[in-house]
Amino acid sequence: MESPRSAEVVSSPSETLALLPTETESQLSNLICDVSQQVQVAMANMLKMISEIDHNSAEIVEEIEKCKETAIERKAFLEEEKDRFQKTAYTVLNMLNRDI
């Protein structure tokens, strides 16, 4: 009759130690794979955000240029109005001085 002990598979301590690095390596490999996938997703999201920022930045720069052009046109118009007003005022003053 066999003893219960002989029916069991007994592994030596060196065999147990040999399995641990393989398990550890497998776990580390899985962890590295997961982290790598997370980094790839994060980088893809960052690239999308960078693209959106570039697009929005270009629109903002374009809007600023339009505002500059409008401001320059408005300034020129106001300068012309000022010159006309001054000429009219001088004309009125000259007319009043002649009548005195």
Asked whether residue 5 is assigned to any structural domain, the reply reads: no
pLDDT surpassing 60 at residue 1: no
In terms of Cβ atoms closer than 10 Å to its own Cβ (0-12, 13-18, 19+), residue 14 is: exposed
The pLDDT, as a whole number, for residue 11 is 55
| 24 lies in some domain | yes
**Domain annotation covers residue 8:** no
Split at pLDDT 50, 70, 90, the class of 24 is confident
Question: Locate tokens 């052009």: which residue?
Answer: 69
Q: Which residue has the higher pLDDT, 9 or 51?
A: 51
Domain presence at residue 59: yes
Tell me how many domains the chain contains.
1
pTM of the complete model: 0.54
Domain extent, residue 67, equals 14-99
Considering the domain boundaries, does residue 20 fall inside one? yes
